[in-house]
Amino acid sequence: YMAASAIIERDPAYSKVAARFLMQKLFREAIGRAAQEHEKDTVYRQAFANAISMGVEKGYFDERLLSFNLQTLQAALVPERDELFDYIGLYSLQRRYFRRHEGVVFELPQTFWMRIAMGLALGEPEDVREDRAIAFYNSISLMRYMPSTPTLFHSGFPTAQLSSCYLNTVDDELQHIFKCLGDNAQLAKWAGGIGTDWTAIRGTGAYINSIKATGQGVIPYLKIANDVVTAITRSGIRRGGKCAYLETWHYDIEDFLDLRRNTGDERRRTHDMNTANWIPDLLIKRVKEDAQWTLFSPHQTPDLHELYGQAFEKRYREYEDIADRGEIMYKRVSAKQLWRKMLTRLFETGHPWLTFKDPCNVRSPQDHVGVVHSSNLCTEITLNTSAEETAVCNLGSINCAAHIDNGQVQEEKLRETVREAVRMLDNVIDLNFYPTQEAKTANMRHRPVGLGIMGFQDALYKCNIPFSSEQAREFADTLMEKISYYAIEASADLARERGAYETFSGSKWDRGIFPCDTLDLLEQERGTPIDVDRTKRLAWDDLKAYVKQHGIRNSNLMAIAPTATISMIAGCYPSIEPIYKNMYVKSNVSGDFTVINAYLIDDLKARGLWDTQMYEELKFHDGECGPIDRIPEDIKEKYRTAFDLDSEWLIRVTAARGKWIDQSQSHNVFLKGVSGKKLSAIYMTAYDCGLKTTYYLRTLGASQIEKSTLDQSKYGATQKRSNV
């Protein structure tokens, strides 16, 4: 399989060949010998029963798995689905996910998928448990839906920590600060990504009455937080991940912007922790007006932390008046200069990310029971937090590509997948191991889940839609409307079966305000237009009536995560991203892989254009079609890559999708060049379109594909750099 994997870049078909060779290796490990073709089906099914029994006996799996009728489940296995894997996906599962005993894998791929499904069906009634497990297995093994990595790590385990994200907020009190640091260590240990709001911590130089001295502000605690999470390896498999959030009116915000710099006092740097600005709308208004911005210490302005929208703006101005009278500590800076510094640090270090407080709160379904103080590690979760509640979100993603046939969305198939996905995600809440009581309290009360999508770029390819076209925005809009409708419908059906979540009464759902209605609320709060079309196509009034009658099972339903690993397993492009390059090397903990765009190669083959010369030209130009004269213009347009697409356009595509989502989306910004004006325009477009959050800023580096195999007599010095 290694030999076949080495030539995948020459033709994506070799990826399937390499996967088949790897399957032979897995067979030898899992059953102790190679299986002959005529006996594979029988051997595969028996290997499943043996793996479950041995896994329980050795303590790897939950003993309740033996309560299933294993004969029924092994009969439902479809070994032929192994052929859906490409090499990277199967190799990733083999390296990181399949269970081992004494270093030897004892699960085959369909065994693994069924074990995941069984783990997610453990809470189902006994009379339908096998049926539910088989339905879950079909959704996952067909790669129509993929649970998040923690669920794939732990489903069916005795201690099943299946949740992806945890959000908490730290009070301005020493005991609570260190309690949260300890909580974060536990959450990271069990594979949770963490977003922590530090805004309540008083600013540098603020007086501490108990010791009659001044404090050092929030930065020293962030240094400790960085080191705590760095020390934890999530589930022994990947490094702990954390993001620290601070509101942009905080007295220490300028020091916060410098946390990821490579210069300065190392005691005030956090090189291993992500950071994010939690930006109130008022700052953006002041930037546009070229006005002043005032920084406060939150111990003197504590209610600013709990307010948003017009209420925040009113109270903020009152505090500015109090500051002008000399009654509280403050700093005054130019809003525009602070904005420039935010963007400069973002360009230099990739941090802090820009996330927007007011849209997250104004559009939150749970505005009646709390405040959203931050997002999570990957900026797609927007849930309330308090000292008593650590927000939890359980994630999984619909593979858009698996629901396209003959260039059309298969709506009934999509509805079926969404319904199974919502049921699995809701089951996670009850099956999950919670590392802290605050996490359990929040999740049981509100029952939020985050159903996302991946393979959006694949779906566009299969529908022959260029990402740069108006048709792409319409496709994003209509596809997400369907997913939103089906998810809400499924959750309402679960409420009818199992009961509504505890805090449903008074929520936006209860008040008949759905995600697609909340842009109007944001527009009212801001007093300026939100530049997003509001067209609705489905029977939303009927669905609102159904939710009013039966309630809804989950306070939140949709969030689009990055999906880097699970999309690799499913053989599609991550999340909502445009393709990075048509040919590149991907590196992660599983290894280095050459990724080549199979859709492009298929189109070139259909036109009779795929040959050795085309392969070499594509490699020479780092996967870019534009410089290659032989490639027709329509193919060039279809296969434009992330850095060749307009960043503001990509935000508008995300905004069209975002109107249907009750949480947020991990939206990476791709910037080609070094224009500060362009960078500012991108993020101002995000604000104007009502985006809740943005994620990484990706800039174009100088690294390239290895080209040593190219003939230098034809291409010259192959490691050329662009002038960008």
Catalytic residue selected from 378, 516, 625, 689: 378
**Greatest Cα-to-Cα distance within the chain, rounded to the nearest angstrom:** 87
The residues, ordered by sequence, that sit 6+ positions from 587 with a Cβ below 8 Å of its Cβ are 593
376 is known as an active-site residue: yes
**Three-class secondary structure of residue 78 per DSSP:** coil
Please count the other Cβ atoms lying within 10 Å of the Cβ belonging to residue 178: 14
* Cα separations in angstroms, 698 against 292, 582, 651, 674, 723: 30, 17, 14, 12, 17
SS3 content of the chain, % helix, strand, coil (to 5): 50, 15, 40
Torsion of CA 639, 641, 647, 650, to 10 degrees: 50
Contacts of residues 61-67 at CB distance under 8 Å and 24 or more positions apart, as own/partner, are 61/99, 61/115, 61/156, 61/157, 61/158, 62/119, 62/122, 62/156, 62/157, 62/158, 62/160, 63/158, 64/122, 65/115, 65/118, 65/119, 65/122, 65/156, 67/126, 67/129
Q: Which amino acid is at 588?
A: N
CA distance 131 to 148: 22
The residues, ordered by sequence, that sit 6+ positions from 437 with a Cβ below 8 Å of its Cβ are none
Count the residues in the chain.
Answer: 724
Q: Select from 219, 227, 185 the least CA-distant residue to 201.
A: 219
Half-sphere exposure of 272 (CA within 13 A, CB side): 14
597 is known as an active-site residue: no
CA distance 641 to 514: 34
Q: Select from 523, 428, 392, 537 the least CA-distant residue to 479.
A: 537
Catalytic residue selected from 247, 380, 489, 617: 380
The residues, ordered by sequence, that sit 6+ positions from 499 with a Cβ below 8 Å of its Cβ are 551, 553
Catalytic residue selected from 168, 184, 376, 399: 376
Q: Are 293 and 215 in contact (CB under 8 A)?
A: no
Rg (CA), the chain: 26
The DSSP symbol for 558 reads B
* Cα separations in angstroms, 304 against 277, 299, 308, 314, 345: 15, 10, 8, 10, 25
Between strands 353-356 and 145-147, the pairing is unpaired
- Residue 22 tokens read as 């790897």
394 is known as an active-site residue: no
CA 356 from centre of chain:
17
CA 426 from centre of chain:
18
Q: Which helix (H) or strand (E) holds 392?
A: strand 391-399
Q: Annotated active-site positions, please?
A: 376, 378, 380
